[in-house]
């Protein structure tokens, strides 16, 4: 690992792409925590709550269908399978599947606050593949002359070429939340004190259990014992107290031997409560309801029932992540596509009873056809299923016509 591979952030680049002195001073600072535990993006994944939060976000987004739409007259329709945008979105990487590719992109965003993709183009300048670059190998900056964004790569590129300084035509940058307009802030670095406390609690618990501090008790005597006598006394004690037949029995100790029960000191036992608190902190850091991190001790304020909680998770947590990816891909794939969108119907569809009521209401209004409903349910079209119907027992507000005497849509034989 090089000096620069441990940091990602915005820097000032010289005209030749080199890092300036002031940026180098900023580069080597920070990273320490009050607990003394060094926190990195990779090490944070050893904390089960962080692992679950990152994999939950990455897996939820990667499992969503993603489509490109284009303009046809006054309407926007989904781009065909032969369009360049659809091809890129359906096959963005020569080795990774779409799910694996999106999962990696979201993992980079969740841990480093930035995702970088090397743009491979064909001889006509069209996008072929988007190859993820590890965020630890990228430093983002703007040239002082024209303030153009530049990317200093400190490791080999995914296509096997040597590291170099690239521009926006070669790198697709998807930044997370930030405050300088250049790159996003790593959530792990921003909340490193809380993550460090969780890692320190894990380490303390391991040492507590590994040091023998949780022995059941101590046998004490005022007589001096040899090692052999001590071992014999311990074996005799274990023999008398072990096994189902010895349960609730009475043990007689002679020669002044006393047994002292050991318990965890209250100040040591508090680390269990601290670990539970850190799970809630990590859930808050990533915007995930605690029950999704298997913390069911506290109730959620996002509604009652799994459906309402899922809607809250999609609305307040996933949507901002999706919007970042959608808008950056839309900008890259223009003018071939109008916009890129993830399909959220799978997460928001509810149970079968609620879906049927929803579809029936829209079908009765003529808003959806039979084939459109079947498409939402991943079913094939049927003959005549594209026809939309409107209710015949309804009239225009203020009209004197009744359902038994509906108005003639042609205007009648005397109509001009």
Among the listed ranges 107-111, 120-124, 174-178, 264-268, which one has the minimum average pLDDT value?
264-268
Does 296 fall in a domain? no
Q: Is 87 helix (H, G, I), strand (E, B) or coil?
A: helix
Does 242 fall in a domain? yes
Q: What is the pLDDT of residue 42?
A: 84
Among the listed ranges 206-210, 354-358, 409-413, which one has the minimum average pLDDT value?
409-413
Among the listed ranges 123-137, 154-168, 372-386, which one has the minimum average pLDDT value?
372-386
Highest-confidence range of 117-131, 152-166, 243-257, 365-379, by mean pLDDT?
A: 117-131
Q: What is the pLDDT of residue 131?
A: 95
User: 94 or 269: whose pLDDT is higher?
Assistant: 94
Answer yes or no: pTM beyond 0.75.
no
Residues 6+ apart with CB under 8 A from 133: 116, 117, 118, 153, 157, 158, 171
Among the listed ranges 73-82, 109-118, 239-248, which one has the minimum average pLDDT value?
239-248
Checking 373-377 for CB contacts under 8 A at 24+ apart, the result is 376/345, 376/349
Phi, psi (deg, nearest 5) at residue 97: -75, 170
Residue where a domain stops, chosen among 247, 263, 279: 263
Does 363 fall in a domain? yes
- State the pLDDT confidence band at 61, using cuts at 50, 70 and 90: very high
Does 388 fall in a domain? yes
Domain count, the chain: 2
Q: Is 303 helix (H, G, I), strand (E, B) or coil?
A: coil
Whether 409 has a pLDDT exceeding 90, the answer reads no
Residue where a domain stops, chosen among 263, 292, 325: 263
Whether 327 has a pLDDT exceeding 90, the answer reads yes
Average pLDDT over residues 125-152: 88
- State the pLDDT confidence band at 379, using cuts at 50, 70 and 90: confident
Highest-confidence range of 26-30, 154-158, 229-233, by mean pLDDT?
A: 154-158
Structure tokens at 321: 């992540």
Checking 208-215 for CB contacts under 8 A at 24+ apart, the result is 208/264, 208/268, 208/271, 213/264, 213/268, 214/262, 214/264, 215/262
Whether the upstream peptide bond of residue 66 has omega within 30° of 0, thus cis, is: no
| Angle of CA points 93, 97, 101, to nearest 5° | 65
- For 364, how many CA atoms within 13 A lie in the half-sphere containing its CB? 8
- State the pLDDT confidence band at 176, using cuts at 50, 70 and 90: very high
Highest-confidence range of 111-115, 220-224, 382-386, by mean pLDDT?
A: 111-115
Does 324 fall in a domain? no
Average pLDDT over residues 404-408: 56
Q: Are the beta carbons of 85 and 76 closer than 8 angstroms?
A: no
Average pLDDT over residues 190-194: 79
Neighbours of 55 (CB within 10 A): 15
Range of the domain at 224: 215-263
Does 188 fall in a domain? no
Residue where a domain stops, chosen among 263, 298, 333: 263
Average pLDDT over residues 169-185: 90
Q: Is 71 helix (H, G, I), strand (E, B) or coil?
A: strand
Q: Is the dihedral of CA 208, 209, 211, 212 positive or negative?
A: positive
* Cα–Cα distance for residue pair 413/416, rounded to 1 Å: 9
**What is the average pLDDT value for the chain, to the nearest integer?**
76
Does 283 fall in a domain? no
Does 248 fall in a domain? yes
- State the pLDDT confidence band at 145, using cuts at 50, 70 and 90: confident
Query: Exposed/middle/buried for 249, CB within 10 Å: 0-12, 13-18, 19+?
Result: exposed
- State the pLDDT confidence band at 203, using cuts at 50, 70 and 90: low
Q: Count of residues for the chain?
A: 416
Q: Are the beta carbons of 140 and 9 closer than 8 angstroms?
A: yes
Q: What is the pLDDT of residue 18?
A: 42
Q: What is the pLDDT of residue 92?
A: 95
Phi, psi (deg, nearest 5) at residue 286: -95, 0
Q: At what angle do helices 266-286 and 48-62 cross, to 10 degrees?
A: 20
């Amino acid at each position: 690992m090089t000096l620069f591979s441990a940091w990602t952030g915005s820097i000032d680049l010289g005209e030749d792409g080199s890092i300036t002195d002031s940026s180098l001073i900023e580069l080597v600072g920070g990273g320490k925590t009050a607990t003394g535990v060094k926190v990195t993006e990779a090490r944070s994944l050893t904390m089960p709550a962080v692992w679950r939060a990152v994999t939950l976000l990455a897996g939820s987004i990667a499992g969503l269908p993603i489509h490109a739409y284009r303009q046809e007259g006054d309407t926007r329709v989904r781009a065909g399978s032969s369009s360049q945008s659809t091809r890129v979105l359906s096959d963005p990487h020569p080795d990774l599947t779409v799910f694996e590719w999106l999962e990696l992109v979201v993992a980079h965003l969740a841990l480093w606050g930035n995702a970088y993709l090397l743009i491979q183009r064909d001889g006509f300048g069209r996008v072929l593949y988007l190859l993820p670059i590890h965020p630890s190998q990228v430093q983002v900056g703007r040239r002082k002359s024209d303030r153009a964004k530049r990317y200093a790569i400190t490791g080999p590129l995914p296509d096997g070429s040597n590291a170099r300084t690239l521009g926006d035509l070669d790198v697709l940058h998807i930044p997370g939340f930030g405050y300088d307009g250049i790159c996003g802030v790593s959530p792990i670095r921003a909340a490193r004190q809380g993550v460090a406390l969780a890692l320190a609690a894990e380490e303390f618990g391991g040492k507590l259990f590994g040091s023998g501090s949780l022995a059941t008790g101590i046998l004490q005597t005022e007589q001096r014992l040899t090692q052999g006598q001590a071992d014999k006394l311990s074996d005799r004690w274990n023999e008398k107290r072990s096994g189902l037949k010895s349960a609730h029995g009475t043990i007689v100790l002679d020669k002044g031997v006393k047994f002292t029960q050991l318990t965890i000191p209250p100040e040591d036992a508090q680390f269990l409560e601290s670990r539970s608190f850190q799970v809630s902190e990590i859930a808050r850091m990533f915007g995930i309801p605690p029950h999704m991190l298997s913390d069911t001790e506290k109730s959620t304020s996002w509604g009652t029932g799994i459906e309402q909680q899922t809607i809250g998770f999609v609305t307040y947590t996933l949507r901002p992540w999706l919007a970042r990816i959608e808008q950056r891909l839309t900008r890259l794939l223009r003018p071939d596509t109008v916009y890129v969108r993830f399909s959220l119907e799978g997460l928001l569809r509810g149970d079968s009873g609620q879906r049927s009521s929803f579809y029936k209401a829209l079908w009765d209004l003529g808003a959806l056809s039979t084939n459109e409903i079947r498409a939402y349910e991943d079913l094939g079209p049927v003959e005549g299923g594209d026809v939309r119907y409107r209710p015949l027992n309804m009239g225009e507000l203020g009209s004197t016509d009744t359902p038994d005497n509906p108005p003639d849509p042609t205007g009648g034989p005397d109509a001009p």
